Amino acid sequence: MATTQNFLPELVGSMSQGAAGNPTVAVMEAAFTHHGLHWRYVNMEVAPADLGNAVRGAKAMGFRGFNCSLPHKVTVIPHLDGLGESAGIMGAVNCVVRRDDRLIGENTDGKGFLKSLAPVVDPRGKSVVLFGAGGASRAIAVELGLAGIKKIIIVNRSPARGAELVTLLRDKLQLDAELAVWTGDYAVPADIDIVINGTSIGLYDGDARLAVDTHTLRPGVAVADVIFSPPLTRFLRDARARGCTVLDGLGMLVNQGIVAVQLWTGITPDADVMCHALENALGL
Ligand code: NDP
């Protein structure tokens, strides 16, 4: 008897370098299995010099899309047929979606963050402090700008990288953005509603300390961290002790996966299924 398994699966995947152990495979495949979708998610090891051929190959083989991570997030753009709004603004793509015969670059990093923030606070009209100006911070800042925040302070160690992000936010989104060069413990201004760690401080180190004067975190402020392992960073523990509402990086990661599955398949996958798969894959 014919079953759907007799047909070729729809393919999506991840183009990256050094992708071994990428937990996204488990998360995506758990969603596909749970929803009875005959789709597969495969890791593809792609060297920078082969990226153009890899994208053309994926298109030729009918891939429905793919994620791309470092070092391909920017260099993939010339090989695509178009860009979504936020990906165009930030100049980085981490998710490619086939629409008809066109490959469109999107960025789900910031969209995943916004989705995890939504149950806690509506960013519209809010004032934000964001630590970091790298890829994750850039994606978060652009999506917050598109969501209508009132203002943002970028706190970054390297003045040049911080200034570059501030200029992008001012020029492309006409956002009230300012730079605070990070030296010593940062005091969060009293009018701030949302504080985010977008740096890599705390990744795989639950004791790593973010240089913040935690006494300036007001109770009730939403405090988020992009770090997903360990999920409860020292920064979040300190913020919670101050009475802040905390959001961990696992939520952002799962929500990015949800956004990607939505973009590729059109269905809204079960968040709990994907969250459990991620926790298992990370050994949490
Ligand atoms: P980048 O390398 O692009 O940027 C790193 C940022 O962290 C820079 O702003 C850098 O400052 C800052 N930084 C690093 N170390 C220090 C330090 N000791 N003191 C002060 N600042 C520091 O990385 P990404 O933006 O791509 O990623 C950042 C983190 O976000 C990673 O840990 C990554 O795992 C996580 N992430 C989580 C996601 C999720 O879904 N939860 C999604 C994407 C990323 P400077 O400019 O001065 O060097």
Name the residue ranges covered by the structural domains of the chain: 7-107+253-282, 111-248
C-beta of residue 112 within 8 angstroms of C-beta of residue 255:
yes
Strand order across the beta sheet in which 10-16 lies? 39-45, 10-16, 65-68, 95-99, 102-106, 82-83
How many Å apart are CA 121 and CA 99, to the nearest integer?
32
Task: Show Cβ contacts of residue 220 under 8 Å, excluding neighbours closer than 6 positions.
Answer: 243, 244, 245
C-beta of residue 256 within 8 angstroms of C-beta of residue 108:
yes
CATH 3.40.50.720 fits 111-248, yes or no: yes
What pLDDT score was predicted for residue 19? 61
pLDDT tens-digit map of 91-108: 999 999 999 999 999 999
- Whether 7-107+253-282 and 111-248 share one fold: the answer is yes
What pLDDT score was predicted for residue 1? 43
What pLDDT score was predicted for residue 21? 62
Query: Ligand 1 mean position to 132 CA, how many Å?
Result: 6
Residue-wise DSSP of 11-30: EEEEEESS-TT-THHHHHHH
CATH 3.40.50.10860 fits 7-107+253-282, yes or no: yes
Cα-Cα-Cα-Cα dihedral sign, residues 249, 113, 212, 193:
negative
Pocket lining for ligand 1, CB < 6 angstroms? 109, 112, 132-137, 156-158, 161, 199-201, 203, 226-228, 249, 252-253, 256
Which H or E element spans position 179? strand 176-181
Q: Which residues of the chain have pLDDT under 50?
A: 1-2
